[in-house]
Structure 1
Amino acid sequence: MTDERNFRSQYYEKVGFRSVEEKKSLEILLKERPLDKTKLKQFCLRFTVPAMYRNFLWKVLLDIIPVYSESQEFIMAQRKAEFQDLQRALRVAKIIDDFTKPHLIFLAMWLAMSKMAETLWYVIDVESEEEKLVDMYWILSGLFVQVEKLQKEVGKLQDCTYALLEKEDVELYKHLVKIDALYNLPYDIWFYSCFAGVICNGSIAKIWDKITVGAYRILIFVAVVTLTTLRRLLLRCESIDHILDTINNITEETSEVIVNKAIESIQQSGTTQQVDMYFTKHS
């Protein structure tokens, strides 16, 4: 009898019956509201996921979309917008272009955050290289957790940057708008990398002190102070390319000035309250 069952199972699998049954089982699981991730994980462990459902199932299991079907379309729209914002920022920064292959685009997006790794190597003060590597791995992991949190509010961070710049320096604000630069600067890259590669290594640790405790709104002040500190040079620029060239060549001395001003600005209660009120209003 056992041999007969084994033969039958092998025969069904050979002609495709088993995959049909597995597909039906998965379809039943996918009809549950909300989706049961435990059951879906068990299915993946036991069976091969049918190709037609693989993309959707992976997104659920990797927490890209929620288990609640009524929220999935909205969340994916947000994910798409986030992807497009970062892609646009990479184009503006001339890291990718229309001819960049898809897999290299994804690599560039990851590298936008991995700039932090290069900077962190110079920031961590440990004599033993082995200990330094261990510390760097875990500190970087923690910083990435904070970056993941701020990703959800990148849009608000940008809007606050516009509003604060207009309040602090109307002339510069209008000039950047006029040359079509204000809304096209690579804020996504700046925020995701916490200004690694923009602010010099000797000064950036002061900013990251705040990031480690989740105070990522300081990035708004770093962005605004960077622009206002460079205002004399930026007012002479007539294109976004010239703006980026200026920002990408900040000296160590200027970096120190920017960081100190940004920290001082966020510590001023009035300015901080303004940003907090904006976030509360748009939450």
Structure 2
Amino acid sequence: MTTDERNFRFTYYEKVGCISVEEKKSLNKLLQDDIRNLSKLKHFAYTYTVPAQQRSLLWSLIMGILPLHKSITEYVREQRHQVYEDLLRAVTVMRFVEGDKSRHLVLHKMWLLENNRLLHSNVRAGSQIDDNHFIEIARTLLDIFDDEMETYWIAKEFYQYTRDLKKECGKLKELTQILLKREDIALFYRLEKLELFDANSKLLENWYTTCFAGVICETVLVKIWDKICGGAKKIIVFVFVEMVKDIKSLIFDLRSQEELKALVETIKDHDGVIVNKAIKSWHSNNSEVEYVH
């Protein structure tokens, strides 16, 4: 294969979120190192779609759930498992999950207990909104991973990632407006008329701080979450821009944010068209708008 062919293939895979045999081998090598390289692991998640069978391990290493030193991985995993079992037993004995078959709500109760909030869930303003964010993230992750112990730990750490996004929502809204003005000024004005970008509006913030959990089908949303784990925070802006461009004709018939919320949350993107377009657009604009990491 010539250099030009390899470069074309590499660029194409990057844009559509696919991964070649060479990249799979590269990831296997990174995961098998005695001391895994965190920067390289993050770069892989940032650049490629992670193979499903290796996603929980890669995310766990990046998030600090499991150690970079391979020799103590099983020991730490067992400690994580023990904490999970202790929390599950506690909320069960305390009858906070009695008869509750919704696993994401069980994980939420465990999370509240671990954070000393189970008996004091209203200790601060806005806690209910944050709780809903955790619940949506946990619900999505339960559809991605099979092991509930791993899912609990990943949900906790991914939620912490979203707290950084929440702090930067003002900047993310500004970037959203910049991109919309450049790509579709009429659509921007329509969304502005719906007051989506107003300081008091939390609709866009809620979508961004849950990284579209519950909105986009988890089987394709996970491509975006791979990149968020790798440090690509602003990719969620490109997801939103591609979503509203896709339903542009319907948006012009809306009269309120409530209608906009209902419309956007019917988008599941099962075939991944929107997500792949967002990844391609993010790559195209990467040098201009992405955080340095």
Percent identity, aligned pairs only, is 31
In the other structure, the counterpart of 2:287 is: 273
Cα distance change of structure 1 residues 168 and 145 upon mapping to structure 2, 3 Å threshold: same
Deviation at 1:242, TM superposition (A): 1.8
Structure number with higher helix proportion = 1
TM-score (norm 1): 0.54
2:210 maps to which residue?
193
Measured at CA, do residues 180 and 158 of structure 1 come closer, stay the same or move farther in structure 2, by a change above 3 Å? closer
SS of residue paired to 2:143: helix
Q: Does 1:257 align with 2:273?
A: yes
- 1:119 maps onto 2:133 in alignment: no
Q: Is the 8 A contact 2:140 2:213 kept in 1?
A: yes
Larger Rg computed on CA atoms: 1
Q: 2:160 aligns with which of 126, 145, 149?
A: 145
Tell me, in whole angstroms, the C-alpha distance in 1 between the residues paired with 2:244 and 2:197: 10
Amino acid in structure 2 at the alignment position of 1:258? I
Work out which structure has the larger RCO, using CA pairs closer than 8 Å and 6 or more positions apart in sequence. Answer: 2
- Distance across 1 between alignment mates of 2:161 and 2:138: 14
> What amino acid sits opposite 1:170 in the alignment?
I
Q: Distance in 2 between matches of 1:115 and 1:135?
A: 16
Task: Identify the residue that residue 228 of structure 1 maps to in structure 2.
Answer: 245
CA distance in 2, matches of 1:102, 1:246: 34
Q: Structure 1, residues 60-102: CA drift from partner, whole Å, max 9, x if none?
A: xxxxxxxxxxxxxxxxxxxxxxxxxxxxxxxxxxxxxxxxx98
Give 3-state SS (helix, strand or coil) of 2:244's partner.
Answer: helix
- The answer to whether 1:203 aligns with 2:220 is yes
Structure 1 residue 170 corresponds to structure 2 residue 185: yes
Q: What displacement does 1:165 show?
A: 1.1
Displacement after TM superposition at 1:180 (Å) = 2.9
1:213 equivalent to 2:230? Answer yes
CA deviation profile, 1:23-43 (whole Å, cap 9, x unmatched)? xxxxxxxxxxxxxxxxxxxxx
Gaps of 5+ in 2: 1-121
CA contact (8 A) 1:198 1:250 kept: yes
Q: Is the 8 A contact 1:172 1:231 kept in 2?
A: yes
Unpaired segments ≥5 residues, structure 1:
1-100, 127-131
C-alpha deviation, 1:148, in angstroms: 2.7
Hey, what's the Cα distance between the residues in 2 that align with 1:133 and 1:251?
A: 24
The CA distance in 1 between the partners of 2:229 and 2:128, in whole Å, is 25
Tell me what 2:129 maps to. Answer: 108
Letter in 1 for 2:165: L
Q: What does residue 80 of structure 1 align with?
A: none
Q: Distance in 2 between matches of 1:265 and 1:230?
A: 17
Is 1:179–2:194 an aligned residue pair? yes
Letter in 2 for 1:257: V
Does structure 2 conserve the Cα–Cα contact (< 8 Å) formed by 1:123 and 1:202? yes
What is the alpha-carbon distance in structure 1 between the residues aligned to residue 287 and residue 236 of structure 2? Answer: 15
> What is the alpha-carbon distance in structure 2 between the residues aligned to residue 152 and residue 135 of structure 1?
27
Name the CA shift for 1:162/1:232 in 2 (closer, same or farther; >3 Å). same
- The answer to whether the Cα contact below 8 Å between 2:194 and 2:257 also exists between their aligned partners in 1 is yes
